[in-house]
Amino acid sequence: MQVTDLVTPALIVEADTLDQNLSTMAKALPGSRLRPHIKAHKCTELAKRQAELGSRGFTCATIREMEGMAAAGLGDDLLLANEVVDARRLGALDARVTVAVDSPETIAAAEAGGVREVLIDVNVGLPRCGCRPDDAARLADLARSRGLEVRGVMGYEGHLMMVDDGAERAERVAESMSDLVRAHERVGGGILSAGGTGTFDCNLAATEIQAGSYALMDTAYDHLQLPFEPALFILATVISVSEKFAVADCGLKSMGMDHGNPRIDGAKVWFCSDEHVTFSSHSPSEAPAAPVRVGDRIRVVPAHVDPTIAYHERLHIVSGEDVIDSWPVDLRGW
Amino acid sequence: MQVTDLVTPALIVEADTLDQNLSTMAKALPGSRLRPHIKAHKCTELAKRQAELGSRGFTCATIREMEGMAAAGLGDDLLLANEVVDARRLGALDARVTVAVDSPETIAAAEAGGVREVLIDVNVGLPRCGCRPDDAARLADLARSRGLEVRGVMGYEGHLMMVDDGAERAERVAESMSDLVRAHERVGGGILSAGGTGTFDCNLAATEIQAGSYALMDTAYDHLQLPFEPALFILATVISVSEKFAVADCGLKSMGMDHGNPRIDGAKVWFCSDEHVTFSSHSPSEAPAAPVRVGDRIRVVPAHVDPTIAYHERLHIVSGEDVIDSWPVDLRGW
C-alpha cells in the first residue's frame, strides 16, 4: 500500500525515525533501566518493539492499557503508575501487576482487588497524585500489614520536563528526587521509579525511568535538544482552496489541542474546526510558495502526541511513499 | 445498572434534559425544517430519537458518519456537508446521498464516485470551505453538465454562532445569508441549507437548519440564552486528595481541550494531564466546602462536547442514579 492510498486523516509514523528513537533510548537505558510508558502510543505492536530492545517491564496509565498489554503477552512486569479505587480488573489479570498507591483507600482497593504488589507513589512537586514524602513509610507499613508486597517508591517530576536549561533541569531534578530517595530509604524495596523523556539522562536517582514520549516525540520537547526526533504526523487531504487560505480534512477530532494548534510547514495555521484545519495558502512571509491545490496531501504536526493518538484507530508505519505496516491503537478507552 | 457501577471516566447524558432539548427543537423546526447535524453526538441511537421526532434528513461531517447512518437505517436523505476528493465510498451507499461541492475537483470526485446529488457550498464569511458566491452558478452549471442533480446551496455562518446580542446576531446572519440567497436564485434547486444551534431561530433564509449541538449543548452557548440545557457530563472518580488539591481520573484523553479547561462546580480546575484533572479541594472562595474524598464520584463539564464524545465508546443515559440505557458512539473515525 502507498501513502496516497490512505483514507485521511490518518496517523503516519516514519519507520526510520521511530527505530532510531527506540534504539537510542535502549542504548542509553538498557534492560530494566527503562520501563517504557505506553500511554503515549497505546499500541501493543509498538510496545513489542520496545520489548525486543530489552524492556521487560512497562508503565501504564489506565486499567485498559494493563489489560491490553497482558493480553498481548507483554505482562512480565506491568506497573499501573496511577491510583485506582477499584482494582478488581487488575487482580484478575494473567500478568505480574504492580499498582501505585498513595492513600489508605488505594491500598485497601489493591488488597480488595487481589493485586499483590504496590509502589508507594510520592509527590515530588507536581500537583497531582502521590503522598507527602513524610507519609510514605507509614503507607508502606500499612500496605505490608495488609499482606501487600511493597516493591519501592515512584514519583513523577513532570513539572520539570520542560525546564529549558539542561544544567538547571538536572539540578532541579536532583533536588526533587532527594525527597523521593529519602522516602525510598524508609520504605524499602528495590525500585525507585521516576522520570520521563525530558529527564531521561539527568535523573540519576531513579532505578528505572518511565519515559514514553521519546518513541514518537512531541514538538514541546523541541527546545531541549534531546536525541529523539518527531516520528508522528497526521496525513491530511486539501479539500478546499481559496485566494488566501486552504482547508484540509483534519481537525479537533483528530488531534489533541491542549498544547495549541498544530504546525504545517510552509504555512500558517489559522484555526481548527471539528474536521478541518484552515491555513494560509501562501507561506507566512508571503513570498512565492508552491501553490496548494485541492487533492494535495499534506503533513500536519500535532502539538501533543498522546491525546492525538487516542483519537485514532491505527498507526500507519511508512517508509518513503510505502506503508510498510499498520498497527492498531489497541489500548484506547478505560 | 447504577451510575456508581460505571467505569470512569464515563460520559453520562441526563435523559430528561436530552428529551427536553430534542422536543424543543423539533417543535421550533418541525419536519424538514431541521436537518440535524450528527457530528456532535456521533451516535445512531440518538439520531433515531431525532428521527422519531420528525427529522428524515440528516447532516454529516465525515464519510464514516454517512456509512454508519445508512447502516442504521437512517439513510432517507443524508447530506455530507463537507467536501471530499474521493467519493467512492459515498457512491456505494444504500442511501440517498447528497454531498457538498465547492470546486471543479470536488464535482469531478462526486461524479467519479457515483454520487448523484450535490449542494453547491458557498462561503458566507467563515474562512473554511465554500466557493465565492459569484462562482456558485458556474459550479452548478458544471455539475449539471456532468449529470449531477443540483439540489440547491448550503453555507455555514459559523463565525456568527457566538455573537452575544440576539438582535445583532439576527442582523448579521441576515446579511451573511443575503449572499447565499442570491447564489441560490442563480443556482436553483429547492434547498438552502444553513444555520446551527446558535442561529436556529434567527436564520430566516434557510429552508433547513443544520443544527447539532442543541441535543447535548455546549457551555460555549451559555451566554446566548438559548432554550437548550447542557445534558452531557463526564463522570470521574476522585483518586487522590491532598491538602490543597484533589485529582480525578479524567484528563486530556477524555475531553476536547480546544475551548480550554473543563468546569467542576464548587471547585477551581488547576490543570489537566493525560488521564487526570487536578482541582482545588476547597471551593474557590475558600469558604468551607464539602470535603472531597478518595472514591467520590464527581461530574466534570467539558468545554466542548464534540471532540469530547469522539474519545468515548459509549453514552450512558441516566435518570437520577439509574443508568437506563447505554448507546454506542458508533460513528467515530473516518
Same domain, B65 and B33: yes
Where residue B282 falls among pLDDT bands split at 50, 70, 90?
low
Handedness of CA B108, B109, B112, B117 (dihedral sign): negative
Question: Minimal Cα–Cα distance from B254 to chain A, Å?
Answer: 9
Where residue B312 falls among pLDDT bands split at 50, 70, 90?
very high
Same domain, B41 and B172: yes
Where residue B288 falls among pLDDT bands split at 50, 70, 90?
very low
State the best of A120, A235, A253, A279 to mutate against chain B, taking most chain B CBs within 10 Å: A253
Q: Is residue A20 in a domain? A: yes
Q: What is the model's pLDDT at position A288?
A: 46
Of the candidates B160, B181, B216, which is a domain's last residue?
A: B216
Same domain, A189 and A209: yes
User: How do residues A40-62 score in pLDDT, each as one tens digit?
Assistant: 999 999 999 999 999 999 999 99
Q: What is the model's pLDDT at position A285?
A: 55
Q: Is residue B333 in a domain? A: no
Of the candidates B183, B216, B249, which is a domain's last residue?
A: B216
Q: Is residue A333 in a domain? A: no
Interval B299-318 mean pLDDT: 97
Predicted-complex ipTM score = 0.96
How far apart CA B332 and CA A107 sit, in angstroms, is 37
Q: What is the model's pLDDT at position B156?
A: 96
The verdict on A225 touching B (C-beta cutoff 8 Å) is no
Q: Is residue B264 in a domain? A: yes
| B290: pLDDT strictly greater than 70 | no
List strand residue ranges (DSSP E) for B108-262, in order. Answer: 117-121, 149-155, 191-194, 208-209, 232-241, 245-248
What lies within 8 Å, CB to CB, of B23 at 6+ separation is: B53
Residues 178-217 of B with CB under 8 A from A: none
| A90: pLDDT strictly greater than 60 | yes
The verdict on B268 touching A (C-beta cutoff 8 Å) is no
CATH number of the domain at A170, please.
3.20.20.10
Q: What is the model's pLDDT at position A304?
A: 96
Interval A26-30 mean pLDDT: 98
User: How do residues B98-123 score in pLDDT, each as one tens digit?
Assistant: 999 999 999 999 999 999 999 999 99
Where residue A222 falls among pLDDT bands split at 50, 70, 90?
confident
Tell me which chain A residue has its CA closest to the CA of residue B132: A242
Q: What is the model's pLDDT at position B302?
A: 97
Provide, rounded to the nearest whole percent, the portion of chain B with pLDDT above 90: 93
Same domain, B263 and B116: no
Same domain, A246 and A195: no
CATH number of the domain at B254, please.
2.40.37.20
Across chain A, mean pLDDT equals 96
Same domain, B94 and B38: yes
- Can you give chain A as a three-state secondary structure string? CEHHHCCCCEEEEEHHHHHHHHHHHHHHCCHHHECCECCCCCCHHHHHHHHHCCCCEEEECCHHHHHHHHHCCCCCEEEECCCCCCCHHHHCCCCCEEEEECCHHHHHHHHHHCCCEEEEEECCCCCCCCECHHHHHHHHHHHHHCCCEEEEEEECCHHHCCCCCHHHHHHHHHHHHHHHHHHHHHHCCCEEEECCHHHCCCCCCCCEECCCHHHCCCHHHHHHCCCCCCCEEEEEEEEEECCCEEEECCCCCCCCCCCCCCECCCCCEEEECCCCEEEECCCCCCCCCCCCCCCCEEEEECCCHHHHHCCCCEEEEEECCEEEEEEECCCCCC
The verdict on A304 touching B (C-beta cutoff 8 Å) is yes
How far apart CA A137 and CA A144 sit, in angstroms, is 11
Of the candidates B172, B191, B216, which is a domain's last residue?
A: B216
Q: Helix, strand, or coil here: B239?
A: strand
Q: What is the model's pLDDT at position A290?
A: 63
Interval A247-274 mean pLDDT: 96
Q: Is residue A222 in a domain? A: no
Provide, rounded to the nearest whole percent, the portion of chain B with pLDDT above 70: 97
Domain that holds residue B315: 3-10+229-328
| A289: pLDDT strictly greater than 60 | no
Burial of A53: CB neighbours in 10 Å, binned 0-12, 13-18, 19+: middle
Q: What is the model's pLDDT at position B281?
A: 78
User: How do residues B210-252 score in pLDDT, each as one tens digit?
Assistant: 999 999 999 889 889 999 999 999 999 999 999 999 999 999 9
Q: Helix, strand, or coil here: B313?
A: coil
Same domain, A213 and A239: no
Q: Is residue A224 in a domain? A: no
Same domain, B56 and B178: yes
Write out chain A residues lying below 8 Å of B84, CB-based: 239, 249
Same domain, A125 and A33: yes
Same domain, A203 and A280: no
Smallest Cβ–Cβ distance between B240 and the set A8, A39, A102 belongs to: A102
How far apart CA A317 and CA A325 sit, in angstroms, is 5
Same domain, A158 and A23: yes
Question: Minimal Cα–Cα distance from A174 to chain B, Å?
Answer: 23
How far apart CA A291 and CA A284 sit, in angstroms, is 13
Q: Is residue A86 in a domain? A: yes
Q: Is residue B223 in a domain? A: no
Same domain, A162 and A246: no
- Count of domains forming chain A: 2
Question: Minimal Cα–Cα distance from B174 to chain A, Å?
Answer: 23
Residue A67 grid coordinates: 489489560
Question: Minimal Cα–Cα distance from B190 to chain A, Å?
Answer: 25
